[in-house]
Amino acid sequence: MNQTFPLLSALIIFPLAGALLVMLLPRRNAFLIKVSALIWTLVEFALSLQLFFTFAENDAGMQFVEQRAWFPELGIDYFLGTDGISMLLVMLTTLITVLCILCSWKAIEDKMKEYYVSFLVLETAMIGALCALDLVLFYIFWELMLVPMYLLIGVWGGPRRIYAAIKFFLFTMVGSVLMLLAILALYFHYGGATGIYTFSLIELYKADIPAIKQYWLFAAFALSFAIKVPMFPFHTWLPDAHTEAPTAGSVILAAVLLKMGVYGFLRFAIPLFPAAVVAATPLISWLAIIGIIYGAVMCIMQTDLKRLIAYSSVSHLGYVMLGIFAFNMQGLEGGIYQMLNHGISTGGLFLIVGMIYERRHTRMIADFGGLSKVMPKLAVFFMIVTLSSIALPGTNGFVGEFLILLGAFKSNMLYGVLAASGVILGAVYMLWMFQRVMFGKITKEENRGLPDLSKREAAILVVVVAFVFLMGLYPGAFLKKMDASAAGYLKVMQAKTAVYTAAGADAARLTAAK
């Protein structure tokens, strides 16, 4: 099946075809536009299930590989493939996109056609970036993600949308430009050294680059990805982007786009530049820990629901980065798992805040209070997603956070202990937020008549909550898919870094001898 049918290409092209179709629909028929977008993304999700179920979980290498020469004279290929790391992120993308379409049903009435087109193009770009194994192809998809996201914030966003959109664009562009330069440098270095000029990632993995050069190239890649994650101190674009973006924009931004930064580290920055990784691990781990605690403290200070959740992403992504840079099974798998969890829980939180916003047109915590009374159904879902966000055992968040902390602790006890303190702070800011919004007496008259969830909204949240529990109670379904790839990844990394750590030790011994 996977030899004959180009599943990854299908997954990438299908949403784009959908975008074209939606473009051709009559502008007046709003319902038709929405339904087509929904059906299209649902079929896309069904198609991705095919990927999930035919994925060979014992194979550590790239699967569903497609490679065709594209610009042979430059060594650029149309080269796709997926492994246990990216496959699950593809699944997350197709799932979240469906929810995004559903949650925009009533919220978006202006320029509806363009909106759904943007979303479908965005889906193509995200899946493309996750599956590309050629650096140029990757870069194209990476940049392609920017445009629809920029439009989503800038056109359908809140009052300060232009500022937020430009900030988002500039921050990401700064990183992208550096990454482009690094890609070119890598290309010329490898070509110069071996005579093979290629952008194929698999080929470039073999590159033997002098340590100093690795530092520079890693720095360029890492900066670009760290902005995207975002890691402290490159995070200040995120609260603005999130607050101004429409609900679905916030959801997709948190659930998938931020993961692209982490994925970039995993797929590119780390395996390409092992020497730099050895040197940079302490720095990145510390930034991750600062991000965990700093993000949490920032959350406590926020008065705007969306800003609060945005800062909580800084904290959660800190966990992810810490886990990955622990370079052991628990840390790595926990990190990947936590990316999925964060997509579900934080995506869920933005969905819920969006539902509240649609009713009240405010995001200020102080404008609420006592909502449990008028919206009991929403209260239940909100509580479950909140608990998942603070990693209560039984929910998805716990599995990821536990594995990450265990992995971090294994690699460096101090890291583990410091990061675990975020567990306390997480409870503080989330429960306080929940209390101020949902508990207490209704103090604002406007809140008294708010309707509870509609069927459509309930359906969205049922999906979110189902994944919260499925991933919390039976993580094996997903962890098994990544086991082989993660183990293979670590094995390769160990072999690659051993050279540098041993060399580093020798050098240290030499200087000590002097």
Partner 1 sequence: MADHIWLIPFFPALGFIVNSALGRRTSKSFVSWVACLAIFLSFLVAAAVLWEFLKLPAEARVFERIVYNWIASGELSVNIGFRLDALSVIMCLVVTGVGFLIHVYSVGYMHDDPGVKRFFIYLNLFVFMMLLLVTGNNLLLMFVGWEGVGLCSYLLIGFWYEKDSASDAGKKAFIVNRVGDFGFLIGIFFLFISLGAQGVWTLNFSEIGENAHLLSGGAATIITLLFFVGAVGKSAQIPLHVWLPDAMEGPTPVSSLIHAATMVTAGVYMIARLNFLYSMAPDTMLIVAIIGVLTAFFAASIGFAQYDIKKILAYSTISQLGFMFVAVGVGAYAAGIFHLMTHAFFKGLLFLGAGSVMHAMSGELDLRNMGGLRKKTPVTYWTFFIACLAIAGIPGFSGFFSKDEILWRAFSSAQGHPLIWLLAAVTAGMTAFYMFRLFFGTFHGESRAAEEVKHHIHESPRVMTIPLMILAFLSLVGGYVGIPHILGGDNAIEKFLAPVFGAAAPVAATGNFEIISAAWASAGDAGHDGSLELALMVASVLIALAGIAVAYVLYVKNPGLPGRFAARFARLYHWVHNKYFVDELYDFLFVRGILKAGAFLLKVVDEWIIEGLVNGTADWARRAGDRLRQVETGYVQEYAFGIIVGAVIVVGYLVVLPMF
- Total number of residues that touch partner 1 (CB under 8 A): 54
| CB nearer to partner 1: pick between 431 and 499 | 431
The answer to whether 431 contacts partner 1 (rule: CB under 8 A) is: yes
Choice from 30, 427, 492, 493 touching partner 1 (CB under 8 A): 427
> What does the alpha-carbon distance between residue 166 and residue 197 come to, in Å, rounded to a whole number?
36
Number of Cβ atoms within 10 Å of the Cβ of 140:
15
| CB nearer to partner 1: pick between 26 and 192 | 192
Q: Which residue has the tokens 């608990």?
A: 387
65: part of which helix (H) or strand (E)?
Answer: strand 63-71
The piece of 101-109, 144-152, 178-186, 394-402 that touches partner 1 (CB under 8 A) is: 394-402
Closest CA to 463 of 385, 391, 394, 406: 385
The answer to whether 473 contacts partner 1 (rule: CB under 8 A) is: yes
> What does the alpha-carbon distance between residue 36 and residue 38 come to, in Å, rounded to a whole number?
5
> Residue 154 in contact with residue 136, Cβ under 8 Å?
no
| CB nearer to partner 1: pick between 185 and 431 | 431
The answer to whether 233 contacts partner 1 (rule: CB under 8 A) is: yes
Choice from 417, 495, 502, 507 touching partner 1 (CB under 8 A): 417
> Residue 240 in contact with residue 164, Cβ under 8 Å?
yes
Q: How far is the CB of 2 from partner 1 (least distance, A)?
A: 26
The answer to whether 476 contacts partner 1 (rule: CB under 8 A) is: yes
Cα angle value 63/66/72 (rounded, 5°)? 140
The answer to whether 405 contacts partner 1 (rule: CB under 8 A) is: yes
The answer to whether 432 contacts partner 1 (rule: CB under 8 A) is: yes
The answer to whether 333 contacts partner 1 (rule: CB under 8 A) is: yes
Q: Which residue has the tokens 């503080």?
A: 428
> What does the alpha-carbon distance between residue 437 and residue 435 come to, in Å, rounded to a whole number?
6
Residue partners of 207: CB distance under 8 A and separation at least 6: 186, 189, 190, 193, 272
The answer to whether 364 contacts partner 1 (rule: CB under 8 A) is: no
| CB nearer to partner 1: pick between 63 and 372 | 372
The answer to whether 393 contacts partner 1 (rule: CB under 8 A) is: yes
Q: How far is the CB of 478 from partner 1 (least distance, A)?
A: 11
The piece of 19-27, 65-73, 278-286, 478-486 that touches partner 1 (CB under 8 A) is: 478-486
Distance of CA 415 to the CA centre of its chain: 23
Residue partners of 249: CB distance under 8 A and separation at least 6: 149, 152, 153, 156, 157
| CB nearer to partner 1: pick between 23 and 420 | 420
Choice from 93, 250, 312, 372 touching partner 1 (CB under 8 A): 372
The answer to whether 399 contacts partner 1 (rule: CB under 8 A) is: yes
| CB nearer to partner 1: pick between 203 and 333 | 333
> What does the alpha-carbon distance between residue 150 and residue 307 come to, in Å, rounded to a whole number?
18
What are the phi and psi torsion angles at 257 (to 5°)?
-60, -40
Q: How far is the CB of 297 from partner 1 (least distance, A)?
A: 5
| CB nearer to partner 1: pick between 69 and 162 | 162
Closest CA to 174 of 119, 230, 253: 230
Q: How far is the CB of 417 from partner 1 (least distance, A)?
A: 6
Burial class (CB in 10 A: 0-12, 13-18, 19+), 281: middle
The answer to whether 61 contacts partner 1 (rule: CB under 8 A) is: no
Each residue 72-111 as x (binds partner 1 by CB under 8 A) or -, in order, gives: ----------------------------------------
The DSSP secondary structure of 181-201, one letter per residue, reads: HHHHHHHHHHHHHHS----BH
| CB nearer to partner 1: pick between 90 and 405 | 405
The answer to whether 330 contacts partner 1 (rule: CB under 8 A) is: yes
Residue partners of 18: CB distance under 8 A and separation at least 6: 36, 37, 40, 41, 44, 120
The answer to whether 133 contacts partner 1 (rule: CB under 8 A) is: no
Q: Which residues bind partner 1 (CB under 8 A)?
A: 170-171, 233, 235-236, 294, 297-298, 300-301, 328-330, 333-334, 370, 372-373, 387, 392-394, 398-399, 402-403, 405-406, 409-410, 413, 416-417, 420-421, 423-424, 427-428, 431-432, 435, 438-441, 473-476, 479-480, 483, 487
